[in-house]
Amino acid sequence: MFEFPMIYKKFIRPLLFLFKPEFVHNFVICMANILPLRKKSYVSDEIDGKNFSFKLGYLNFKNRLGLAAGMDKDAKAIKLWNKLGFSHVEVGTVTPMPQSGNPKPRLFRLVKDEAIINRMGFNNQGPEKVRLNILRAKKKTHNGIIVGVNIGKNMNTPVKNASEDYQKCMEILYDSADYFSLNVSSPNTEGLRDLQSEKYLDELLAKINAKNSELSLKYKIPRRIIFLKVAPDLLNEEIEFIFNTAVKNEIDGIIATNTTIRRENIVCNINEEGGLSGKPLKKLSNEILIKFSVLNSENKLTLIACGGVFDKNNFKEKIKLGAELVQIYTGFVYEGPGIIKKILQ
Ligand SMILES: Cc1cc2nc3c(=O)[nH]c(=O)nc-3n(C[C@H](O)[C@H](O)[C@H](O)COP(=O)(O)O)c2cc1C
């Protein structure tokens, strides 16, 4: 009769949207630890006898859908993401020192556009805390979900010293992260996006590459898989430079994309600074994905798509455009947890 996605949109979402977005966000993360979850996953790994898994080095993704960075910054609800059926969750962004982020309000819904603007500014409890949360959750989920850690720089670290922050995060989290994602694309930390430029990127990635080898020897585990998360506001020559620099420095993949600073295709009259995500981002992030796909004709990198996925068609489109994995954030907020089953089955 009533399907859960419909119940969410008709009853639960209007109720949640009565409250401030950040309050609801914190409430949901908190409830994830209190509410009893059923034993079995809400989504089966096989669909009509077919298995949509994806292998990348030492990682086996049970399906192609993951939760994007920013939803579970401190790795507090991994058990829930596992039960809901995601193959992977990207926790973070984590910075070497805990920080409280930008002043509130810093999260805004654009309901008519099915979009969000955020300028959270990397609020997080720091890598030591996140590491413990991941290790604890991994025991409980029997490694059923891949946990990537998205890392960045502290607000008051000068851009020229940013590589030290990324390396510190790697050092602390190396034995707990299944992969790392280098966030050089959030618009809410001053200067962060400059790390995508010729002035900084090559040096940053070379240092990360060397640190990866060093820590792999120290911990006697395979070199961690590293993704680079890019902005949707890049020019063609910047995309080509990022692609070549990533390949040169043995980066494994590109996550396209983070939020945009542009304000195209929106009807809501909201004049807030920050990154825009959700439906209005889809076209732009798909255009960036296509450009990386064209450069990636020899499959040197794995492409992970992110931006504006709200249903199965959006998901399939990203796969068709060359993505091996797809991540969602805003679609989860507007469609509810039923979106995972709708996409995967
Ligand atoms: C409230 C909020 C916080 C976010 N925080 C982060 C973050 O800390 N690090 C990051 O790399 N991306 C962050 N993102 C970006 C998402 O991971 C994703 O790249 C973007 O929202 C586009 O996907 P979507 O249209 O499915 O939301 C955040 C997005 C939102 C809406």
- Going by the DSSP 8-state scheme, the letter that residue 76 receives in this structure is -
User: Residue 310: is its pLDDT beyond 80?
Assistant: yes
User: Residue 163: is its pLDDT beyond 60?
Assistant: yes
- The residue-averaged pLDDT of 247-269 equals 95
Q: How far apart (Å, rounded) are the C-alpha atoms in residues 52 and 65?
A: 10
Q: Which carries the bigger pLDDT value, residue 84 or residue 212?
A: 212
Task: Give the pLDDT band of residue 39 (cuts 50, 70, 90).
Answer: low
- The residue-averaged pLDDT of 227-236 equals 96
User: Residue 293: is its pLDDT beyond 60?
Assistant: yes
Amino acid code (one letter) for 273: E
pTM: 0.95
Residue 328 Cα: closest atom of ligand 1:
26
Task: Give the pLDDT band of residue 140 (cuts 50, 70, 90).
Answer: confident
Q: How far apart (Å, rounded) are the C-alpha atoms in residues 98 and 240?
A: 34
- The residue-averaged pLDDT of 144-157 equals 96
Mean pLDDT computed over every residue of the chain: 93
Give the closest residue to 291 by CA, choosing from 249, 216, 238: 238
Choose which CATH entry (3.40.190.10, 3.20.20.70, 3.40.640.10, 3.90.1150.10) describes domain 4-344: 3.20.20.70
186 is catalytic: yes
Share of the chain above pLDDT 70, in %: 96
Helices within 35-88 (DSSP H only): 78-84
Token pair, residue 10, equals 């008709």
Asked whether 82 lines ligand 1 (CB < 6 A), one says no
Q: Which residues fall within 8 angstroms of residue 126, CB to CB, at 6 or more apart?
A: 94, 95, 96, 97, 98
By most ligand atoms within 8 Å of CB, the mutation choice from 228, 258, 325, 332 for ligand 1 is: 258
Domain ranges for the chain: 4-344
